[in-house]
Homo-oligomer: A and B are copies of this chain.
Amino acid sequence: MPQSPINPIRPTNDEARKLARSLIAAATFGALAVNDGISGFPAVTRIATGTAPSGEILTLVSGLAAHTTALLADPRAGLLLGEPKEKGDPLTHSRLALRVMAHQIARDDPRFAALRTHWLESHPKSKLYIDLPDFIFFVLTPQSGALNGGFGRAWQLTASDLMPVAS
């Protein structure tokens, strides 16, 4: 009987770093996992994602959403980026599972206006709600990442592997 590889993790190389950074740069949405301190169950929801001018990962969320309440109570989160195409086996498409720390950028933060302008360029439909008073940004700072490029192609990445490259 065939065996799974004993250690499926490959040594980190520039191919892995480039793939991970391209998944971050291309993502317009992802799956966010947060701790729910009341139930003890992790909760996972779809969020819009983008990047700040600096390359940091951003999300814009409603203050009415349960994930927003959860992030304000506990900034430790997980973020899955890299969506499969409609054709082919979804588990062969590359995806990046990040461990992130969430930092709120409220509407009265000095950075808010610049982030708003930048976000509207990449997410034009968000003009319908970006100015609702409960909407806030979070910067999601990667602590580490698990990159999966398909069966048998897996890498563990550090925070510095995931840092945006200055362009």
Contact = CB atoms under 8 A, between A and B. Distances in A.
B91 A46 contact: yes
Nearest to A91: B48
Contact of A84 (B29, B35, B78, B131): B29
A103 interface: no
Contacts of A135: 4
Contact of A151 (B8, B77, B129): B129
Given A4-B64, A4-B132, A66-B146, A44 B41 contact: no
Contact of A99 (B41, B62, B131): B41
B43 A33 contact: yes
Contact of A44 (B66, B78, B83, B131): B78
A45 B3 contact: no
Contacts of A42: 33-35, 42-44, 76-78
Given A33-B42, A33-B44, A41-B76, 18 more contacts: A1-B132, A2-B132, A4-B63, A4-B134, A4-B135, A5-B64, A31-B33, A31-B44, A31-B80, A33-B33, A34-B42, A35-B40, A42-B44, A43-B99, A44-B78, A46-B148, A48-B90, A83-B84
